[in-house]
């Protein structure tokens, strides 16, 4: 039996877990996302979504750690699907006691001015965040996407910048539990502080459902 960190997702979100049935879960998620779309016109989008899910489950950009699950919204809110993903990660970090874990967490907090302690059912977590322009990485992904040259140019030229909010909740543990983290990302249209704070409040609500489960 091992301990994993779980997080509740709303009914309009889909969670894909790592494991032997990963490919079946990805296929089901893609079919759900495009169940109302025309089969031929959605073929490229479905292929792209499948690739991005596989990439997310294989790793998590600079979040680090072993991916446990990836969650994302599937239904629109106010007419649009939120550009958000949440990834639960198992970290190769152990602590002999919660006292030593808290000291390590304090050291992380001291090194990041955005650090904010967050009480959760799984114990005290530490939230850190940053906003970065991911336009260059996005363009590189578009360059490999199965789209026509005309579509590729239109996508790349649609915006000159692409600010992305990344928030990370570090969850310490001790004994036979490993440290975990939950990494959120949200593509923003602007770096307005109010918008950033709105998404952070959403992420905090998710963090409030974190709890330990044995598998």
Instruction: Let me know if 112 is exposed, middle or buried by CB neighbors in 10 A (0-12, 13-18, 19+).
Output: middle
Domain borders along the chain are 7-210
pLDDT attached to residue 32? 79
Helix (H), strand (E) at residue 6: strand 3-6
CA-wise closest residue to 157 among 190, 135, 186:
135
- What pLDDT shows up at residue 35? 75
Question: pTM of the prediction?
Answer: 0.81
What values do phi and psi take at 103, rounded to 5? -65, -40
Q: Which of 199, 201, 168 is nearest to 186 (CA)?
A: 199
Give the pLDDT confidence of 180-205 residue by residue, as tens digits: 999 998 988 888 999 999 999 999 99
Task: Show the low-confidence residues of the chain (pLDDT under 50).
Answer: 61-62
Q: What is the pLDDT of residue 187?
A: 86
């Amino acid at each position: 039996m091992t301990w994993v960190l779980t997080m509740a997702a709303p009914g309009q979100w889909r969670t894909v877990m790592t494991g032997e049935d990963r490919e079946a879960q990805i296929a089901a998620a893609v079919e759900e996302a495009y169940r109302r779309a025309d089969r031929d016109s959605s073929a490229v989008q479905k292929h792209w979504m499948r690739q991005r899910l596989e990439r997310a489950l294989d790793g998590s950009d600079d979040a680090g750690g072993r991916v446990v699950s990836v969650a994302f919204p599937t239904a629109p809110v106010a007419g649009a699907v939120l550009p958000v993903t949440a990834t639960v990660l198992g970290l190769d970090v152990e602590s002999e006691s919660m006292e030593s874990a808290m000291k390590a967490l304090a050291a992380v907090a001291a090194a990041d001015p955005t650090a904010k302690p967050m009480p959760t059912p799984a114990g005290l977590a530490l939230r850190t965040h940053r906003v970065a322009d991911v336009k260059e990485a996005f363009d590189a992904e578009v360059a490999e996407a199965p789209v026509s040259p005309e579509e590729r140019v239109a996508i790349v030229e649609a915006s000159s910048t692409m600010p992305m909010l990344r928030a990370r909740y570090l969850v310490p543990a001790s004994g036979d539990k490993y440290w975990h983290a939950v990494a959120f990302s949200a593509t923003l249209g602007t770096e307005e502080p109010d918008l950033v704070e709105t998404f952070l409040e959403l992420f905090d609500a998710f963090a409030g459902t974190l709890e330990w489960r044995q598998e």
